[in-house]
A and B are shown apart, each in its own frame.
Chain A
Amino acid sequence: MPDFLVISADLAWPLAVLLAWLAGEFIHRYTRLPRISVYGLVGFVCAQAFPDLFATEAGSPVAVMANVAFGLILFELGYRVNLNWLRVNPWVAVSGLAESFATFGIVYLIASLWGMDTMPSLLLASLAMSTSPAGVLRVINEQRSSGQATERLLHLVALNCVLAVLTFKVIVGFWVFNTSGSLTQAISLSAIELVSSALLGAVCGMLVPAVLRRLGNLAREGTLAFALVVVILVAITHAYDLSPVLATLAFGLTARHRRVAFTRTQRNFGAIGELLMILLFVFAVSTLDWNNVVNGGMLAFVLLIARFAVKTAGVAAFSQLSGIPWRKGVATGMALAPMSVFVVLLLEQTKNSGVVFIDELAAVAAMTVFMEVLGPIITQRSLIWARETTKEE
């Protein structure tokens, strides 16, 4: 007779994904809330109700699939970013730098005043700089949003991701140096990892469009080829402890700027991309511990409000200079709310390298849970307020 528990464990993830999808469809139909908010909620409830069934080891198939899903999103983001724009209109980049570093400063300040140690405060501050491309891109695609707020949002998210990863890795490097005293280990965990990841992605970004060009029939092959290379990139970065975030983002960016031919990828990478995305959002919160959420809840609440205010003000401050009205600037800043999936995967990936922070950063767990549900809703409302979403005529 088969062991009931073993079967349940095997079934747990597929059933959770199915449940999340169904709940997402129903709730979206009646409330118009973003589906991904619902996925996160279902994931959190499932993981708290059956902690043993949803426990995932680093490197488990579910974690790898979640990383692939995130890789696809980062590639899609990179593929839509026009670096030349940041040169022509530098105020867009300036607003991104300003809101990121102001967020770092304010979060570090609040965490220190709250009594947290320096290192965890710095790490928390670097994580708060980020904006999760998963939440933002999904909402943009779901709402079929277009206009200046949308366009700027995409570019700012990419900038935030890069800045957050760089800052986070540098701080992790210092942390390792402080605790182990080994400079080699510290550098290999930060500088070498960052440079190799970006290079790996950039090389793929040059090779793939060139190969596609030779193959011809680009419209059909593009999406599949890019998706396959994202899968391979995630596998390589996993095997060699590199950063999948930087590698896939660099892949997208280079592929866009090096493309010999102009092919689009299918939004969300089609149905398989959608499936992986549900898994990603369910997975992201399943890694969190309810005790941490409770312990860090109050601080998280304060930090989230501060982060939201600083990001909104940071983008809005440069809106007129960069050529858009205040209203759109404020909407763009507000839409930068999501951060969960990015943070979880960054921490998961760091855990692979043997550095575990999640317990020191109880507030991160709480921030992640709040933002997994609230972040996409705020982005959606901001884009509607900016009048950039498609309404029924």
Chain B
Amino acid sequence: MALEPFKESTPLTMGVELELQLVSFSDYDLTASSPDLLHLLAQKPFPGHVTPEITESMIEINSDVHTRHSELLAQLHEVRDTLVQAGEKLNIGICGGGTHPFQKWVDRRIFEKPRFKEVSSLYGYLAKQFTVFGQHVHIGTGNGDNALFLLHSLSRYLPHFIALSASSPFVQGGDTLFNSARLNSVFAFPMSGRAPFTLSWDEFANGYFAKMEHTGVIKSMKDFYWDLRPKPEYGTIELRVCDTPLTVERAAALASYLQALCAYLLDRKEEAPAEDDYLVYNYNRFQACRFGLDGTVVHPKTYESLSLREDILTTLRRMDPYAEKLGGSAALNHLMQVTHMGSDAQYLRDQFAASGSVEGIVDAAVQRFRGRR
């Protein structure tokens, strides 16, 4: 079956998906409660969409399509409040964070859905280890060629999103020394990493995709776990490197930052993307995951070493006029604060130091998601 045509979309519209953790208030471990929570949420209208994820300790929520930061944030607030209320009724804590700090993958249960069962039988324990929590951001691109142009142009900015959203320093009860350990779990999948370099949708769909489909390795775009992937059925590109932040405010801010960056890139003021940009891609990605805002990245065109924090600040300033036009200035201000105050990963490490336990981290994350800290 050939790849479906790229749907026409309004450029620079945005939508957000958040994978969230379901935590037991008994012991702060993950709880296999998504069927119960989804049952309860189905009783009333939900301000967005909520769907199950691969293991029963996760859910995914999706926003509608928005053009402005304030609208997106308002909806995410509504979604959060509805979730928190339902969670309280069932004694379930709900929180962000890219990983649960001490859950054991072996205790996870795969959600009863054919696709999840298929993934589980193909990937074995990797499927349960995929109990990690990310934020995906969709940006409308207008057409397929624009999508591929944006996708490859954004590769240079990917470390920004990793560092700003990083919230997964702990795995299996220990500090990994990474700010985003979640992305290491994604890397284990054979179809992860970066998309092949082409700027033409025709070439991508009829060349690369058709060949891959012929090999029998993939059936649809869903089988690719790329950091950035085109989503022809929505007419968007999807950024997948962000950890789920601890607050919906940060989630909305990250989406608006990506929106402003896309607006800027579509102005074609930067040198066009090239295959060689990917020479430093994995290194930069590693730096952002490992050191977060304190990382050092290499500019793909000039090979100059840059402080990631400085690079983000410079870019945020350059995005100001675009954000203003799109109504996203507050979002950029929020992210500016993050570069000064530290990321969620830093916050979680502080909580560990203050409470002395990994359970204390989860409690803090649950409270923070509610907007109480």
Contact = CB atoms under 8 A, between A and B. Distances in A.
Interface stretch (B241-249, B281-289, B355-363): B355-363
Given A147-B35, A216-B356, A262-B357, A393 B110 contact: yes
B356 A323 contact: no
B87 to A, nearest CB: 10
A82 B25 contact: yes
Q: DSSP majority for the A interface?
A: loop
Contacts of A84: 25
A80 to B, nearest CB: 4
Contact of A89 (B89, B128, B173, B359): B89
Interface in B13-51: 24-29, 31-33, 35-36, 39-40
B91 A89 contact: yes
B95 to A, nearest CB: 14
A80 B27 contact: yes
A324 B357 contact: no
Interface string A61-101: 00000000000000000001110110011000000000000
Nearest to A88: B88
B24 A151 contact: yes
A14 to B, nearest CB: 33
Interface string A368-393: 00000000000000000001101101
A145 B226 CA distance: 34
A148 B92 CA distance: 9
Interface residues of B, number: 35
A147 B33 contact: yes
Given A80-B26, A324-B39, A262 B33 contact: no
A183 interface: no
A82 B32 contact: no
Contact of A147 (B31, B355, B357, B363): B31
B32 A388 contact: yes
Given A147-B33, A387-B35, A82 B356 contact: no
Given A82-B26, A323-B40, A387-B35, A148 B356 contact: no
Contacts of A85: 25, 88, 91
B26 A323 contact: no
Interface in B342-361: 355-360
Interface in A210-233: 213, 216-219
Interface in A93-118: none
B36 A262 contact: no
Interface in A122-162: 144, 146-148, 151, 154
A264 interface: yes
Given A217-B356, A262-B355, A324-B39, 8 more contacts: A85-B25, A88-B89, A144-B107, A146-B33, A147-B36, A148-B33, A151-B24, A328-B36
Interface of A: 80-82, 84-85, 88-89, 144, 146-148, 151, 154, 213, 216-219, 261-264, 322-325, 328, 387-388, 390-391, 393
14 contacts: A88-B88, A89-B90, A89-B91, A148-B33, A154-B26, A261-B356, A261-B357, A262-B363, A263-B357, A264-B28, A264-B29, A390-B107, A393-B121, A393-B128
The 3 closest A-B pairs by CB, nearest first: A262-B359, A80-B26, A148-B36
Interface of B: 24-29, 31-33, 35-36, 39-40, 56, 86, 88-91, 107, 109-110, 112, 120-121, 128, 173, 355-360, 362-363
